[in-house]
Chains A and B, each alone.
Chain A
């Protein structure tokens, strides 16, 4: 049996006295799309940031593709990874942020080819042709030379997805990627993600889009107050939640 892509075992995280993650147990299989839902402050974004070690976990164990995140275990001892080793690991995991975080001083294409060139050492010519393909795939072939400030939110977010895909990641993390978008721009981003899921990308998606979670997610995980309250097949959790807290949350989200 192969290792799951992500395996969290009792993951804990606190910011000062505030316990944000109180022991998260979760497995994400290869090619699986898992949607994390829950009220803000429930810890779902923090968990996502732990997966590529943007946040250090304080307890438990977190594995990506069978390897500890941020640490190395040898002879029963745990060693912190060096900064460049962490960077190497992160390069294999794509992440898309709520606020896009495109590099404003680079064009759309510049954003996409930067990491393949600097981190992977790919030749500029190859990086450019790959970058053009990716931007074409997210429907932005005509915006290649635009700076982010000239793009709409939806376009920026699609560039951000292309930027993450350029590293050919084995896992994609989406952190509320449509929350900062005007309502009419949400669909174009979700469509790209939908296509990505169909192609078999392993994805963890923190989202408030319940319809998307139900239709695209293989599994939905409901988090509240730093713990996983309920998880199961997407359709079942969204349409027939078992837990009272999940029902309450979904009631509030879906009623409008």
Chain B
């Protein structure tokens, strides 16, 4: 590649033309904007470091405090249990909603309407106080005999009320996510599964849901991350979660900001871990589709930090990825 600059190389035969070495356009506007952002960031960091009233050593002291760690454990338990309730309920509600039976689909619609239409904080308070309307809870045949009597005041602990409210509320959102996933699967897939003799259940489990997962997983990941944060609402009914534990400590020592920072750090750690987990689950369910071999995790994290504008929305649209990388 040594065509002398300035000389026309018309007769050079199969030799491809030189690579283009153009002078790039100068993006002065962008540079100014970047400089302003850098300035703001620098001053924020400087003030955080130099402002003694942040008392970072206090943050460090409490970061691994046993009360904080206990609160973190409660927060995680609440997140996992509420999401489990939400996902199971979501699948059931979605299948009901898609049912040919009008009563089932209407019931599902009403449930979603109710739980999406009222604030989750109100629901938490409602379930916490449910003993006021249902002092005992009887389990048995509806309108028939009951077998188990439970005292609602004992049964409905703050944790239980929060778990129930967050889980039932989540079920409404999850059902819409699951439903969107199911209807995203091509009708031909149902035909093909039926044609080889699969029952409805097999068709759902083996063919439809695995494909629906690609549509279901990303928003479910977001829901889980949201749930982790929403559990902090449980602090209003004195569930000893991460936030409430921090509040208990600063109620005594008045280090409010420091303990809120401690809580925030743990929330951030958890949401970051969840995001990484989501990536791997998405990759698992992306098998055989476009984006199945998406970019390495590190790139994604960096992109996640830099900006999400062109994030691959798992599977749909987008240019197909380069072929071949199933090396392992």
Contact = CB atoms under 8 A, between A and B. Distances in A.
Is the pairing of A and B real?
yes
A118 B198 contact: yes
A87 B189 contact: no
Contact of A115 (B191, B196, B210, B285): B196
B192 interface: yes
Contact of B191 (A92, A93, A101, A167): A101
A2 B149 CA distance: 66
B287 A105 contact: yes
B231 interface: no
A155 to B, nearest CB: 14
A199 interface: no
Interface string B159-198: 0000000000000000000000000001011011111111
Interface in A114-135: 114-115, 118-119
Interface residues of A, number: 34
Interface in B82-131: none
Contacts of B43: none
Contact of A105 (B197, B211, B290, B320): B211
Interface in B142-163: none
A105 B195 contact: no
B190 to A, nearest CB: 9
Interface string B286-328: 0111101000000000000000000000000000100100000
Contacts of B248: none
A51 to B, nearest CB: 11
Please indicate which of the listed interface residues A101, A148, A149, A160 has the most CB atoms of chain B within 10 Å of its own CB. A101
Nearest to A103: B207
Interface in A209-252: none
Given A99-B188, A104-B211, A150-B323, A87 B289 contact: no
Given A97-B188, A104-B289, A114 B196 contact: yes
A182 interface: no
B222 interface: no
Nearest to B196: A115
A90 B287 contact: no
Contacts of B323: 150
Nearest to A102: B192
Interface in A72-92: 83-84, 87-88, 90-92
Given A149-B288, A149-B289, A167 B197 contact: yes
A54 interface: yes
A115 B197 contact: yes
B9 interface: no
B226 interface: no
B206 interface: yes
B191 A91 contact: no
Q: Which of A103, A104, A147 has the most CB of B within 10 A?
A: A104
A147 B188 contact: no
A226 B189 CA distance: 26
A119 B202 contact: yes
A101 B199 contact: no
A103 B189 contact: yes
Contacts of A104: 211, 288-289
B264 to A, nearest CB: 39
B272 interface: no
A164 interface: yes
A167 B210 CA distance: 22
A164 B196 contact: yes
Contact of B194 (A54, A92, A148, A149): A54
A114 B192 CA distance: 12
Contacts of B47: none
A46 interface: no
A57 interface: no
Given A99-B188, A114-B206, A87 B290 contact: no
A115 B198 contact: yes
Given A101-B186, A105-B210, A149-B288, A83 B199 contact: yes
A243 B188 CA distance: 35
A91 B197 contact: yes
Contacts of A99: 188
A54 B206 CA distance: 19
A94 B194 CA distance: 10
8 contacts: A83-B199, A84-B199, A87-B198, A95-B195, A99-B188, A101-B186, A150-B323, A167-B197
Interface of B: 186, 188-189, 191-200, 202, 206-207, 210-211, 285, 287-290, 292, 320, 323
Given A90-B194, A91-B196, A150-B323, 13 more contacts: A54-B195, A83-B200, A88-B197, A94-B195, A95-B195, A101-B192, A105-B287, A105-B288, A114-B206, A115-B196, A119-B197, A147-B288, A167-B197
Closest 10 CB pairs of A and B: A91-B197, A147-B288, A115-B196, A101-B192, A101-B188, A95-B195, A119-B197, A90-B197, A87-B199, A105-B288
